[in-house]
Each structure stands twice: as structure tokens, then as C-alpha cells.
Structure 1
Amino acid sequence: MMSFVSLLLVGIMFPAIQAKQFRKCELSQVLKDMDGFGGIALPEWICTVFHTSGYDTQTIVSNNGSTEYGLFQINNKFWCRDNQILQSRNICDISCDKFLDDDLTDDMICAKKILDKEGIDCC
């Protein structure tokens, strides 16, 4: 009983990351401010997100020695920092795990930086 109480207290003190599996129409509403950014229409953003993460904020993919995080699959080698690549360039100045929650504000800011610097492959 005592270990259950301890576990319950730990669960309350350290809530799980609030991840989200978006639906297409719901995601369209959240990403509406991305429409037209860099000449990319909202349907192209939605298509790109579907093909990179399946609309799931907790998507993590290992790719040639680096890892990509979240809806936009933002890479830890250049754009964010994690414990895997300690010398990341971290251009977006953010921890990679921030791309795994349901708040897409920081994801969109970083995606715009990536588009400004590198462009994006759309559908």
C-alpha cells in the first residue's frame, strides 16, 4: 500500500508529456497561421505532417545517427538539443522533447526557422 501511495505522489508531481494524435481537420485549425508561410499552402503543410509523423506529436524516428522529433520531425543534429547529440547546433534553441507535447507553438516557430534556412520538401 505504501508503494502505491508513493507511486501516486510521483505521478502527480511529474505529469506525463501531454501528447496528441491530431485529426486532419483539427490540425488544420491549429496550423492555420502557417498557411502561405514560405509560399506553402495549408494543405501542403497538412500533407507534409501526415507523411512525416502521421499527425502524432510523439513520433520519434532514428535517422542515420540522429533523431527526429514530433509532428514536423525536427532533427536533433541541427535544430534542437537532446542527450544523444551533445554538440547539436540547436538553431531553434530548444530541447527536442518540447516537440513531443500537444502545444505546437514552439514546433511551428522552429518549422518556420527551418523553412527560412533550408526550405522544405512538400508533397
Structure 2
Amino acid sequence: MTRILAALAVAAALAAGTALAAGPRDTLLAGYVAEAGAPASAARGEAFFKATHSGGKPDTASCTACHTADPRSAGRTRAGKPIEPMAVSVSPDRFTDPAKVEKWFRRNCNSVLGRECTAAEKADVVAWLTGQ
């Protein structure tokens, strides 16, 4: 369903004459925005990413627990494995594989929040990290 909504959002933008590079990251973000029914906000994405949340695991109450507060820096898992930087400017392949993005959002949101992220939360985080 998300892929269909993303494709429709991209098609509508192109039909309206909007300058939109319909790459995989754009399509992913457009799908989250369409599902959320509201535009993405990079400012909300940054605040969400850096906030301390309740409901998840105590040692991962924030995305920054593993990813660091600077998305251009490498992080570490709880097991000590390195995590490539989240910023698209440093890791250009970030957010280009929808199945991989969904896998990690599902896993990490459950760890940090104790639930899955909403489409709006995903859109906001992707919008922020795309600009980093």
C-alpha cells in the first residue's frame, strides 16, 4: 500500500510540473508523507531523533543512544558493532532500499519507543537526515 501511495504522490507531483527527482529516497519519503497525510518536517525529525523517549528499552531511550547526536558521525550498536553515519551527505545510499528502511525503522522504533514509528515520524526523520 505504501508503495502505491508513494508512486501516486510522485506521479501527482510530476503531473503538476513540480521539479522532483523521483529517485528511491524521494519515492520512499513521498510514500510516508502520503500515508501520514501531512508534509514532512526536518525540524520535527531532528527533535524526534534527539529526544529521550519512554516505552522502549532503558538503554536505547533515544535514537542517539546508538547513532550519536551528530548524524554525520558513525555510531555503535549495543553489541559494539559500527553503524555507518545516518546523514545522506556522508552515506549516500541511506534510505534507498525501502525493505531495508522498513526493517530498521521497525526494529529501532520498537527498541526506542516500544512501538512502531508512525508514517509521520518516519517522514520527519528521513526529511531531516536527507538534509544532513
Task: Report the TM-score when normalising by structure 2.
Answer: 0.32
| Largest Rg, 1 or 2 | 1
**Which structure's residues are more often helix, by fraction?**
2
Higher relative contact order (CA 8 A, sep 6+): 2
TM-score normalised by length of structure 1: 0.33
